[in-house]
Amino acid sequence: MALLASVRQLGATVLALLQTRIELLAVELAEEKERLLSVFLLAFLAALFLGLGVLVVTAVVAVWLLRSYGFTATLWMAALYLLIGIALAWRVKRRVAEHPPLFSTSLAELNKDREAILAAAREPEEAVAQSGAEGAGHE
């Protein structure tokens, strides 16, 4: 009877542990979803209004400089915009690379759980091995 109760208790503990980890995973997923939506919305709006501003300024400068410098000024503006775009793309790539992997906290907790379970499973084996060695030494 005690063995059956012990197995039931172990099963309940494992299920509770699993439920906690799944809840943590769900919370992380919701946080990541909210963060990404916020970032995408802000990035879109920033790009939209910056693009409109740059378009208007470029048109004004191009018309103003076209009389004096011809298309040279337009080419310089295009080169400047390309350099800025490359720098921003590089910055985005760095930001994405710096972000920790998705579910890293959950994975770390699951690894801790696995190690704890493996350690607990080794303890009874070690206890049996030690008691067997002690019993053999007393004979």
Confidence of residue 137 (pLDDT cuts 50, 70, 90): low
How many Å apart are CA 12 and CA 77, to the nearest integer? 68
* Average of per-residue pLDDT values in the chain: 81
Q: What are the DSSP calls for the chain, one per residue?
A: -HHHHHHHHHHHHHHHHHHHHHHHHHHHHHHHHHHHHHHHHHHHHHHHHHHHHHHHHHHHHHHHHHHHHTTHHHHHHHHHHHHHHHHHHHHHHHHHHHSPPTTHHHHHHHHHHHHHHHHHHHHHHHHHHHHHHHHHHT-
Confidence of residue 125 (pLDDT cuts 50, 70, 90): low
Count CA atoms within 13 Å of residue 94 on its CB side.
6
Q: Reply yes or no on whether the pLDDT at 18 is more than 90.
A: no
Confidence of residue 111 (pLDDT cuts 50, 70, 90): confident
Q: Reply yes or no on whether the pLDDT at 138 is more than 70.
A: no
* Percentage of the chain exceeding pLDDT 90: 17
Instruction: Tell me what pLDDT residue 106 has.
Output: 74
* Average pLDDT rounded to a whole number, residues 74-90: 90
Given a contact cutoff of 8 angstroms between Cβ atoms, the answer to whether 80 and 61 are in contact is no
Biggest alpha carbon–alpha carbon distance for the chain: 109
pTM: 0.45
